[in-house]
Amino acid sequence: MPTGTISSSKDTVGVAVVNYEVPVVETKEQVLTNCRKIAQYIEGTKRGYPGLDLMIFPEYSTQGFHPTKWKDLTTTVPGPETAIFSEACKKNKVWGVFSITGEHNPKGAPFNSFLLINDKGEIVLNYHKILPWVPMEPWYPGNETMVVEGPKGLKLGAIICYDGNHPEIVRDTVMKGAELVIRIQGYMYPSKDQQRMISQVRAWENLTYFAVANMAGRDLVYSYFGHSNIVDFDGRVLGECGTGPGEVQYALLSVSAIRDARQNWTAENHLFNTLHRGYTAIPPDGIAECPFDFYKLWVKDPQKCKQMVEGLTRATAIPVAATAR
């Protein structure tokens, strides 16, 4: 897709990603003040990019991740934070992606939540991070990938930060129909180069648009490298922020183009080819059965699969060498 404009059309979804400056907050009132700042970002960006349909904010952009007071900032969904976001989306006729860390969980530790709010102010998706970044993150793991229809019919899938390092989550999300996979993250140095590459790789291997919103700046613990970006379904970067806090990047995603590629591409149609292995040699459809022993074992016998992985790595959550220090 071409870039460089501020508009959109019936066939193109205008998407903006934000290098949001990591908030350092200690009280719920400070959180709400930050939420109002996020609402101002939406209003200002819509004014500057009238074609904006979807605006994406990073993981931790709402409550931050205070090393000692994060529990005090736990909230509900819906709640006072989402009320501010919903009003901003409705007022500006924009869809928005927001982070809640954490969301109250009656079963235990809070969730790390990805919220999608439509242009009517309705929460239409609440995804819980499946793979928290252990051993540092205290969030209760989710257990379901999610896809919903977004602006102009583009199908949106959700992942959060460390999720994206695991190809299984993105592939599962795409196989549920996602045409744009959105990754909100709070990634810090030193893994800037790896994370920039992942967005392009995940887009290419899954024939999907991929959008990343990352934190920028420094909190009480880490420095965040920004580089929020939007990637085409062939792995090309359409737009990318630098490292500075407050940067916004914008690009257009064609609904018809990705659907045409998925229907008509052959040699690089990784989605079709995975389930039609060798169709040139075995016409007309090739082989559909899964050839991967690891995945078959994981489904059939998770405990045995777990033991196999521990044989390759270790048998304890914390390495023995670390506990002996």
Using one digit for the tens of pLDDT, what is the confidence trace for 107-148? 999 999 999 999 999 999 999 999 999 999 999 999 999 999
Please say if the pLDDT value at position 1 is more than 70. Answer: no
Q: Report the distance separating Cα 79 and Cα 41, nearest Å.
A: 20
- Cβ neighbors of 88 (< 8 A, separation 6 or more) are 38, 39, 42, 43, 94, 96
Please say if the pLDDT value at position 324 is more than 70. Answer: no
Look up the pTM and report it: 0.97
- Tens digits of residue pLDDT in 224-263: 999 999 999 999 999 999 999 999 999 999 999 999 999 9
List, in order of start, the domains of the chain with CATH numbers. Answer: 12-273 (3.60.110.10), 293-323 (no CATH)
Q: What angle do CA 275, 198, 191 make, to 5 degrees?
A: 150
Catalytically active residues, by annotation: 59, 129, 161
Q: For residue 323, what pLDDT is reported?
A: 60
H/E element, 213: strand 209-214
- Tens digits of residue pLDDT in 13-58: 999 999 999 999 999 999 999 999 999 999 999 999 999 999 999 9
Q: For residue 4, what pLDDT is reported?
A: 75
Q: For residue 321, what pLDDT is reported?
A: 73
Q: Report residue 183: phi and psi, to 5°.
A: -115, 110
Neighbours of 107 (CB within 10 A): 6
Cβ proximity of 132 and 141 under 8 Å: yes
Q: For residue 320, what pLDDT is reported?
A: 81
**Residue type present at position 239:** G
Mean pLDDT of all residues belonging to the chain: 96
Q: Report residue 172: phi and psi, to 5°.
A: -65, -40
